[in-house]
Chain A
Amino acid sequence: MMNWLLPATVLVLLANLALGLLRVARGPTATDRMLAALLFGSTTVAVLLVMAEWMAVPPLRDVALLFVMLAAIISVAFVGLPAVDEERE
């Protein structure tokens, strides 16, 4: 068996998340930071799915399902924010 496979996948995906933080730090607009939030949403889903398989905790798949839906709701909420004076730099 390849015991290292699933943990290695989780590590790579978490490194991916850490890289995405650079875009949050750099900006420059609120939209760019929102893109990083989208990245976190999709990567978190993948991490949860892999962890469900790795640790044999099937309920984590339902958590992943919830995260997928939350990702859509987050961006709809972001679009509903007023666009005034967000970029006064």
Chain B
Amino acid sequence: MNPFDAIAALLLAAGCFFYIAGTVGLLRFPDVYSRLHALTKADNLGLFLVCLGLAVHSRSGRTAGLLLVIWLLGLLAATVSCHLIARRALHAHPPAPGELPEPPPRARS
């Protein structure tokens, strides 16, 4: 077995692990914000690892560049979506007092 395939297999397996972790978070976490957090972060790490694994597997510079662009765009899309959806959820269902943790007190000068 050549070492490129072994590295690619490791990276792809790690990517799948993070995808599954994101889905488990989506299913198990208690409220919208933590689900959103689990999903957008873990999935992008998964996408990164899958892209890296495929770049190693293909051994082609052009493909690796395209995969990098796809990952960067995915990162940007997930960040923007996460922020927008969280803000909409906050406005659509304002939390009752005491439901969310209090913000920390400001430091006194």
**By DSSP majority rule, is chain A's interface helix, strand, loop, or mixed?**
helix
Q: Which residues of B contact A23 (CB under 8 A)?
A: 26-27, 35
Are A39 and B22 interface neighbours, CB within 8 A?
yes
1/0 contact string of A59-86 vs chain B (CB within 8 Å): 0010011001101100110110001001
Most chain B CB within a 10 A radius of its CB, from A5, A29, A76: A5
- The number of A-B residue pairs with CB atoms under 8 Å apart is 137
In this complex, the interface size class of chain B, counting residues with CB under 8 Å from chain A, is: 35 or more
Are B77 and A69 interface neighbours, CB within 8 A?
yes
In this complex, the interface size class of chain A, counting residues with CB under 8 Å from chain B, is: 35 or more
Are B80 and A38 interface neighbours, CB within 8 A?
no
| Contact A45 B70, CB 8 Å, known A29-B93, A31-B88, A35-B26 | yes
Q: Which residues of B contact A68 (CB under 8 A)?
A: 70, 73-74, 77
A sample of 8 inter-chain contacts (CB < 8 A) reads A29-B32, A36-B26, A42-B74, A45-B70, A46-B50, A61-B70, A69-B73, A86-B92
